Structures are given as structure tokens and as C-alpha cells.
Amino acid sequence: MEKEEKVVVVLLVMALSSLSTAYLFFGQELAGAGQQSEGKALQYTHESEVGEKVSLDAEVLSKRFTYTGDHLLLEVNFNSEVLSIFIPKTAGADVLNELINEGDFINITGTVSEYEGKREIKVERKEDIVLK
């Protein structure tokens, strides 16, 4: 290799090591920028926006499975507002259906979403619903 080629290789190695170091120190923070961190849910309010991770305590009014997909839908009473809670089959819908009954008080953690113009909370894991 000629002298110029060696310089280019050294500069590339230095640039890669700088990027690697920056990623190790700042990458995880930058990768999660703009997202709620795991476990840090905000208290649900009527002003909560779609995409926010929220938590709330509510009473179960009804439960049923969807017509397709075997997902569980809960209707809950939260401060005189009826909210839908969507529990995908992959999030333990079958297990939660066995544990939860109408009239139970539960703590729910999930993401605010909208389905057919109606606000709902989507649960990602069965551990995100806790009986009170």
C-alpha cells in the first residue's frame, strides 16, 4: 500500500471507532428519543394523546372476544367514562379472560390508540393488567 492509502485506512478506522464509542455512550438514548421509556406510563386523562403510554385504575363493566382474531375487549368505567381496552391474543388474552370478571377493579397500562374513531387503550403484555 502506498502512503496515501495507509492514511485513508487509518482515518476510516478512527472514524469507525469514534462512531462506535458514540453509539455505546449515546446510542440507546438517541434510539429511544421521542418514545416513552419502558415502565414510565403517564396517568390517563381525557387529554391523553394517541401514542402515549398511560396507566389507569378502572372497574370492568364487560368483556368479550373479538369476532376475528380471538382478541379480548374489555369495557371499563374510568371516572364515568367508558373506555375500551384491547388485549391482543399475543398479549395473553386467554389467560386474562380467565382471571378478570365483570365488577373487578384492575390497573391497566397500555398505549392510547384509536379504533373506528373511538379511543381505546391497547395492552402489550398480560403483566400490564393487574387485579386490585
Angle ∠(16,18,22) on CA atoms, nearest 5: 115
pLDDT higher than 80, residue 41: yes
CA angle 34, 37, 41 (to 5 degrees): 105
Provide the pLDDT for residue 35: 45
pLDDT for res 69: 83
For the residues 94-98, what does the mean pLDDT come to? 92
- Same domain as 110, residue 91: yes
**58 and 114 together in one domain:** yes
pLDDT average, residue stretch 64-71: 89
Residue that has been written with the C-alpha cell 378502572 in this structure: 58
Full domain range(s) for residue 30: 1-34
Are 59 and 113 within one domain? yes
Same domain for 60 and 111, yes or no, is yes
> So what's the pLDDT on residue 51?
92
Shared domain check, 47 and 30: no
- Specify the number of domains making up the chain: 2
With 0.85 as the threshold, say if the pTM is over it. no
C-alpha Rg value of the chain to the nearest Å: 23
Q: Which residues fall within 8 angstroms of residue 70, CB to CB, at 6 or more apart?
A: 89, 93, 94
Same-domain pairing of 82 and 124: yes
